Amino acid sequence: MSELRSCETPSVIRKPYLLFLGDAQDQLAAKTACGVAQWRPEWCVGQFRLPGCRADVGLDDITLDHGMQLGAATLVIGVANRGGIVPAHWIDDFLQALDYGYDIANGLHQRLSDIPEIAHAANSKGRLLFDVRHPARAFQVGTGKKRSGRRVLTVGTDCSVGKMYTALALEKEMHRRGIKADFRATGQTGILIAGSGICIDAVVADFVSGAVEDLSPANEDDHWDIIEGQGSLFHASYAGVSLALLHGAQPDALVLCHEPTRRHMRGLPHFPLPDLACCLEANLTAARLTNPAVRCVGVSINTSGLEARAAARLLDEATRQMGVPATDPLREGVSVIVDQLGGLFESGRMAISPNGRSTAA
Amino acid sequence: MSELRSCETPSVIRKPYLLFLGDAQDQLAAKTACGVAQWRPEWCVGQFRLPGCRADVGLDDITLDHGMQLGAATLVIGVANRGGIVPAHWIDDFLQALDYGYDIANGLHQRLSDIPEIAHAANSKGRLLFDVRHPARAFQVGTGKKRSGRRVLTVGTDCSVGKMYTALALEKEMHRRGIKADFRATGQTGILIAGSGICIDAVVADFVSGAVEDLSPANEDDHWDIIEGQGSLFHASYAGVSLALLHGAQPDALVLCHEPTRRHMRGLPHFPLPDLACCLEANLTAARLTNPAVRCVGVSINTSGLEARAAARLLDEATRQMGVPATDPLREGVSVIVDQLGGLFESGRMAISPNGRSTAA
């Protein structure tokens, strides 16, 4: 069984947040804070930066003290650095934050609870430490038993192709339409954005599908869980995680995510990217084990590396090739995908083409 | 990264063994000890049983003291019980064993190193504790980079269908023929039989394929690693483990293992077993990601639940259906499979049928 840690900790991070950017050397280092500020601006009272910080997520610069006055409950470490280690010169600020009354949520690899002075201060003051990369409790083995409620999972041709972004865009659009939907986070940035979740690749291998069943429990019949995918069935390092996630999620619908300028699988220069249709087929085939009715409702392509006309051509081509709408969530939104999702459960089942893809509404 | 534990511990368990059967309530409870006694009789000085023990692996009953005189180096806990917990009434014997000079190797879920009096005694006396279900060190992420040497992996239609048994039978037959070969263990019983290995389903999900790369490193061109498979691509609880193992192993050859009387997937009454051909095809397709030249060299069927003539018919039928030899390792041995393996690298590549299966020699 995976390690049982801090099992007393509630699983939901308290809001609102003060985003800690530290002395991030560039905007990319503050990617996690950017994600939180972009998707949950209503939860963020401001950003807290140290001298020399070169990142800016566009929020007011405020102090720990000021953040408290604005009602902040949690200091969110939204900055990554080489090795995922907490630098020694951040510790005084964290101790001060605990002193003020903040909980701390940490997206770095190193656990705050492994830093004795921070663990001690949090314990003695009754503050919570959320080391979101490390599952805080044990999980059961997956059962594959059908659960009520509806589920859509974002899958990818590779790592880092927009699976979290697409899931969050789907949630936003579904909420706009008044559809009951929850983003279910499976990675550290997603967890800080959702306020809860499970860092699925840090779970002991035997329990990954069970952890996903736990993350997305039975729900109302018309409720959608939008589950953040991880990795790719075609990534030689992480495919096992992706498959366990697929089986645990029991998705009714898949959205295939892709980054067209990627030249090889992330971190593996000797592996080319899979073809879109082949990648989708592999995901559908595998997903049918726990949900034979699964189908694809859309393709999400990050076209930020392309000019507008090239992007439009690519999306048209993918729509024709795949038989489902292809869109760039940032350029065109995900309305066309949500239309498909709606169609899945309204007025009976949609027609399904022989390869298991849903036909356009 | 997975937890780093007892990194000073050598990875190979010292031989010979004294097998501890405790007060096992039946023969099945001593399955691990049976496996060790069957496959490594030359490493076993005897069995050590407590009053009331109803299991017998066929070795002499000896005391801890006598075992020491016979040169035993490690007491092997070869008995499982409900929950995998060390019963309190075993602890005195283990303390005595440490006192005598034994290391202890433990196939139970509970770690001996988590039992303070045992951990303390081992430390103070300089004895080693091998909690084989728990990886003793951290692993890297898998790279998918091709390694020298040859590899055969046993895969299955389900859990517990003979993947370890088949791998050990292959090793034995290959050694008999003078072929360089090593059994590579991925589960607790296999590790006690091999004297080393990695309990792959206990590794943190992100690192499973990397752990398998570590377990089966580059080797001489004519050396075979015979890697013990785990789970099944068609088991909703564990398929992620099986896929990561498949990718990390980069097998040149697969042997498909099956138990024909199984009515449903182990532990999942709502899941039927996959068809043999469909299961093989899924394994070959997935395995091609890290070794496009992979092929199937045989089917291993546990026919112990069938009469001799029914078994023979079934094996004939499977041989015809699958286009590779089907055998029961216990009834008929694995000679026909080793013949196929030999053919893979001798006199050029074998002919491959369009579905990627090797044709019979």
pLDDT in the model for residue A349? 44
What tokens does A200 get? Answer: 């699925």
pLDDT in the model for residue B177? 97
- Pick the closest to residue B45 from B28, B26, B23, B65 (CA basis): B65
Identify which of B142, B240, B270 has the shortest CB distance to residue A237: B142
* pLDDT over 60 at B4, yes or no: no
CATH class of segment(s) A17-131: alpha beta
pTM for the full predicted model: 0.92
Contact call for A205 and B200, based on CB within 8 A? yes
Rounding to the nearest 10 degrees, give the CA dihedral for residues A283, A285, A289, A290.
40
Contact call for A1 and B109, based on CB within 8 A? yes
Interface of B with A (CB under 8 A): 1, 3, 109, 141-145, 200-206, 208-210, 233-234, 236-245, 247, 267-268, 270-271, 282, 285-286, 289-290
Q: pLDDT tens digit string along B109-122?
A: 999 999 999 999 99
Average pLDDT for A108-114:
95
Cα B294 to Cα A106, B336, B349, distances in angstroms: 43, 18, 11
Q: pLDDT tens digit string along A225-272?
A: 999 999 999 999 999 999 999 999 999 999 999 999 999 999 999 999
Q: pLDDT tens digit string along A14-23?
A: 999 999 999 9
Contact call for B239 and A145, based on CB within 8 A? no
pLDDT band for position A356 (cuts 50, 70, 90): very low
pLDDT band for position B81 (cuts 50, 70, 90): confident
pLDDT band for position A344 (cuts 50, 70, 90): confident
Q: Of A102-106, A185-189, A249-253, A345-349, which gets the smallest average pLDDT?
A: A345-349
Residue type, B123: N
Residue boundaries of the structural domains of chain A: 17-131, 150-345
pLDDT band for position A139 (cuts 50, 70, 90): very high
Contact call for B202 and A202, based on CB within 8 A? no
Whether the ω angle into residue A16 lies within 30 degrees of 0, i.e. cis, is yes
Q: pLDDT tens digit string along A276-292?
A: 999 999 999 999 999 99
Q: Which residue of A has its CA nearest to B235?
A: A289
Q: How far apart are CA A150 and CA B330, in angstroms?
A: 47
Average pLDDT for B210-216:
98
Element containing residue A121 per DSSP (H, E): helix A116-125
pLDDT band for position B9 (cuts 50, 70, 90): low
Q: pLDDT tens digit string along B145-158?
A: 999 999 999 999 99
* pLDDT over 80 at A354, yes or no: no
Same fold, B17-131 and B150-345: yes
Average pLDDT for A301-314:
97
CATH of domain A150-345: 3.40.50.300
Q: How far apart are CA A183 and CA B324, in angstroms?
A: 47
Average pLDDT for B3-10:
43
